[in-house]
Amino acid sequence: MDTQRALKGKIALVTGAGRGIGRAIAGRLAHDGALVGVHYGHSADAAQEVVAEIRKNGGRAFPVEAELGVPGDADAVFAAFDAGLRAESGVEGSLDILVNNAGVSGSGPVGQAVPEVFDRMIAVNAKAPFFLVQGALPRMRDGGRIINISSLATRRAFPESVAYAMSKGALDTMTLCLAKELGGRGITVNTVGPGFIETDMNARRRATPEARAALAARSVFDRIGRPSDVADVVAFLACDDSRWITGQYLDVSGGTDL
């Protein structure tokens, strides 16, 4: 398959695409031919860098600014997305691929939990994706793709991140329900569950050479995952080759803790 044409003519929205996994996903989908809305909440400079890099490499992208986890966030995302899409392509109200990637972490164990942090986790990691899907469906063409970025923390015990794991577990359940509901339209819905990936979100876990080596050793490949490891799987789920896969949780952890 010619990956540079696999998504030609498709329109994608990737949340939290200014850095880390989201940045890699946006770049890969654009490489494969999609026009990509690069969503960000606060990192405007980083998102503009992503857009510029995609365009430099011959792809098409535009920035989408809207904070998640606040009232009206989904409406704000699609207002910005529709405006950017119209300016970039002249098309309105169209979407083929939604990647719910944006997320926040840092919850701590149950004994240290506070309501404000818990509410923030749920608002960004679970509530926002739910209403983004709701806003996406009237725009999404039949045969579309919804891809939710969850976490290995929903399948392994990480007591130090219990609220985070709970919020990401909601995505796993949403995937199952939506896959059944949307199958009649040919829309697939899947979850990708990364393990330890080298991003800013988990930098504190790699603060020393010893800590880094310990994380790497949890994978059968004895290395920490790269954002591209996740982006490549998302690209597969976004293209027609994955048309017979829906309602699934794809473990993208490099065999962590086997």
Per-residue pLDDT reduced to its tens digit, 181-228:
999 999 999 999 999 999 877 777 788 889 999 999 999 999 999 999
For all residues of the chain together, what is the average pLDDT?
Answer: 95
Q: Where are the chain's structural domains?
A: 3-251
Structure token pair of residue 24? 């890699």
With tokens 């392509």, the residue in question is 89
* Per annotation, catalytic residue among 107, 161, 167, 168: 168
Structure token pair of residue 227? 């954002």
Share of the chain above pLDDT 90, in %: 88
Backbone angles phi and psi of 184, in degrees to 5: -65, -20
Please tell me the predicted confidence (pLDDT) of residue 2.
63
Please tell me the predicted confidence (pLDDT) of residue 5.
86
Cα separation, 172 vs 74, in Å, equals 20
| Tally of CB atoms within 10 A around 194 | 23
Structure token pair of residue 173? 């359940």
Residue 1, pLDDT > 60, answer: no
Asked if 105 is an active-site residue, the reply is: no
- The answer to whether the beta carbons of residues 139 and 93 sit under 8 Å apart is yes
Rounded to the nearest angstrom, the gap between the alpha carbon of residue 231 and the centroid of all alpha carbons in its chain is: 9
Asked if 168 is an active-site residue, the reply is: yes
Tell me which H or E stretch contains 62: strand 60-65
* Per annotation, catalytic residue among 150, 219, 242, 253: 150
Please tell me the predicted confidence (pLDDT) of residue 121.
95
Provide mean pLDDT across the span 174-187: 98
Asked if 180 is an active-site residue, the reply is: no
Asked if 253 is an active-site residue, the reply is: no
Cα separation, 249 vs 175, in Å, equals 8
CATH assignment, 3-251:
3.40.50.720
What residues pair up with 14 in beta bridges, in sequence order?
Answer: 38, 99
Residue 172, pLDDT > 70, answer: yes
Cα separation, 138 vs 105, in Å, equals 30
Choose among 131, 23, 21: nearest CA to 72: 131
Please tell me the predicted confidence (pLDDT) of residue 108.
84
pTM of this prediction? 0.95
> Per residue in 77-94, pLDDT tens?
999 999 999 999 999 899
Choose among 248, 234, 251, 246: nearest CA to 17: 234
- The answer to whether the beta carbons of residues 192 and 149 sit under 8 Å apart is yes
* Per annotation, catalytic residue among 40, 107, 127, 151: 151
- The answer to whether the beta carbons of residues 73 and 67 sit under 8 Å apart is yes
Please tell me the predicted confidence (pLDDT) of residue 96.
98
Please tell me the predicted confidence (pLDDT) of residue 200.
79
- The answer to whether the beta carbons of residues 239 and 32 sit under 8 Å apart is yes
- Helices (H), ranges, the chain: 20-31, 44-56, 73-89, 115-122, 128-136, 162-182, 209-217, 227-238
Which of the four pLDDT bands, split at 50, 70 and 90, describes residue 145?
A: very high
* Per annotation, catalytic residue among 40, 107, 164, 219: 164
Residue 115, pLDDT > 60, answer: yes
What residues pair up with 95 in beta bridges, in sequence order?
Answer: 140
